[in-house]
């Protein structure tokens, strides 16, 4: 199957978390033998900022780390869709694209019937800025991939699309997995961007203040931290290390003892059931996770088993103290979270979901071979490249005993 993807950027993850998921999806499609082409604008905002702040070397480093991932960079004015889509079977357009491109692809689909066209939404704009979504005019699109049930329902209720499917983000476990390191570098690490003040108060309550009160050795990675935010980190004794390439995050996660998830206000208030990709990635790395409140209404995880939930800043401090002082509890929590990722939330799982949509709902003959055809497996589920059958490198020492393991719903109901 020929798949063409129009996304903001494959190259840069500077303030662009969706690049993590995109890279994982492309990798999994390639593993199954599909021909994948990623198209991104020549002047992508994320790429421009990456080069401005980190230099061209950041692009070189990406290409060295991901030799199988390449994109075609275009100027919208000269974009030749007839050539690019001549042999396409499936085309996916992400919501972070110019409205003109979204319209142009819709018009091309109206005149061409040999491929299917999907719109992929991984933002809260359908709730917070509905006029913009309505202006995209998706009548010619064959459906919408929504990263949460509430987003899917919004598209259907507003009549923006006739068909929509829930397609959550997930962890690229070829990159995000536990690593065995000789020593830790501190107590707590947080990887995330400050952004547009959408969660500044929550960061004070659930990250900065608990670290200060407990006197933890902590580090923060991310971009778009204004001077007042940097001053807050400094006053709390938190080390700020700036942008971190996503492929270096696993090593950083495994160098610390705990991490936290502090979702932005729109996700908490408007998008129940939609975690950011950082949750999937942290759990995939096997680090204990504590979340500020968010509603997992779609049952993606098991709160208090895969991760802990702090209802306020004081409770965050208490939970951090518990995990740092009780290593067995921390290890059991991390193990449960990792197993949930490997069983349900990898990019391999999401590609299988996408291929089912293609076959069952879009009438596309995918012709894909299971990944096992390309990765020889032994009887214990380990493939010849040192990965498990879903692409994950599982490195776990001192697995929790059976008495501490997570009890599944089926076991609970026996």
CATH annotation of 2-166: 3.40.50.11930
Q: Is residue 347's pLDDT more than 90?
A: yes
Mean pLDDT, the chain, integer: 90
Of 6-20, 92-106, 165-179, 372-386, the range with the lowest mean pLDDT is 372-386
Q: In angstroms, rounded to a whole number, what is the distance separating the alpha carbons of residues 413 and 221?
A: 42
pTM of the full predicted structure? Answer: 0.89
DSSP sequence for 344-390: H-BHHHHHHHHHHHHHHTS-----PPPGGGTS-B-TTSBBTTS-BTT
Cα–Cα distance, 60 to 412 (Å, whole number):
50
Q: Is the pLDDT of residue 387 over 50?
A: no
β-partners of residue 38 are: 5, 71
Report pLDDT for 406.
40
Give the pLDDT score at 182: 67
Which of residues 340 and 371 earns the better pLDDT score?
340
3-state secondary structure of 395: coil
Q: What is the pLDDT of residues 190-234, one digit of tens each?
A: 999 997 777 899 999 999 999 999 999 999 999 999 999 999 999
Q: Token pair 């991760």 is at which residue?
A: 307
For 347, list phi and psi in degrees, rounded to 5. -65, -25
Q: Is the pLDDT of residue 411 over 50?
A: no
Asked if the domains at 2-166 and 186-342 fall in one CATH topology, the answer is: yes
* Higher per-residue confidence, 155 vs 413: 155
| Sheet of 186-191, strands arranged across | 238-240, 218-221, 186-191, 256-261, 289-291, 308-309
Tens digit of each residue's pLDDT (9 = 90 or more) over 183-196: 899 999 999 999 77
Q: Which CATH superfamily is domain 186-342 in?
A: Glycogen Phosphorylase B; (3.40.50.2000)
Where are the domains positioned within the chain?
Answer: 2-166, 186-342
* pLDDT at position 392 over 90: no
Within the chain, what is the greatest distance between any pair of CA atoms? 64
CB 280 within 8 A of CB 130: no
CA angle 121, 124, 127 (to 5 degrees): 105
pLDDT at 320: 98
With H, G, I as helix, E, B as strand and everything else as coil, classify residue 44. coil
């Amino acid at each position: 199957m020929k798949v063409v993807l129009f996304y903001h950027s494959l190259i840069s993850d500077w303030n662009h978390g969706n690049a993590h998921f995109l890279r994982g999806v492309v990798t999994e499609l390639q593993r199954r033998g599909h021909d994948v082409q990623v198209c991104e604008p020549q002047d992508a905002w994320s790429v421009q900022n990456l080069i401005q702040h980190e230099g061209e070397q950041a692009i070189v480093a990406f290409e060295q780390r991901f030799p199988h991932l390449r994109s075609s960079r275009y100027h919208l004015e000269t974009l030749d869709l007839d050539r690019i889509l001549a042999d396409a079977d499936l085309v996916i357009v992400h919501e972070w694209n110019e409205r003109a491109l979204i319209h142009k692809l819709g018009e091309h689909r109206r005149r061409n019937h040999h491929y299917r066209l999907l719109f992929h939404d991984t933002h809260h704009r359908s709730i917070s800025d509905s006029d913009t979504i309505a202006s995209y005019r998706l009548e010619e699109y064959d459906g919408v991939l929504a990263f949460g049930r509430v987003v899917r329902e919004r598209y259907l209720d507003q009549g923006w699309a006739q068909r929509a499917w829930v397609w959550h983000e997930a962890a690229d476990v070829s990159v995000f997995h536990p690593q065995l390191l000789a020593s830790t570098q501190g107590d707590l690490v947080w990887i995330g961007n400050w952004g547009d003040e959408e969660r500044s108060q929550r960061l004070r309550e659930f990250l900065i203040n608990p670290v200060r009160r407990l006197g933890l050795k902590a580090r923060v990675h991310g971009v778009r931290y204004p001077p007042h935010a940097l001053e807050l980190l400094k006053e709390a004794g938190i080390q700020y290390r700036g942008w971190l390439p996503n492929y270096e995050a696993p090593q950083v996660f495994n160098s610390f003892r705990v991490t936290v998830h502090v979702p932005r206000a729109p996700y908490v208030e408007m998008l129940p059931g939609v975690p950011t990709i950082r949750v999937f990635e942290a759990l995939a790395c096997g680090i204990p996770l504590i979340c500020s409140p968010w509603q997992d209404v779609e049952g993606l995880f098991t709160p208090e088993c895969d991760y802990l939930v702090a209802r306020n800043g004081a409770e965050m401090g208490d939970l951090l103290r518990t995990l740092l002082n009780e290593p067995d509890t921390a290890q059991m929590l991390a193990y449960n979270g990792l197993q949930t990722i490997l069983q349900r939330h990898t990019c391999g799982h999401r590609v299988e979901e996408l291929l089912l949509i293609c076959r069952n709902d879009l009438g596309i003959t995918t012709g894909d071979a299971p990944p096992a055809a390309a990765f020889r497996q032994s009887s214990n589920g380990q493939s010849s490249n040192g990965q498990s059958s879903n692409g994950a490198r599982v490195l776990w020492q001192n697995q929790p005993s059976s008495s501490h393991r997570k009890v599944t719903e089926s076991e609970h109901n026996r």
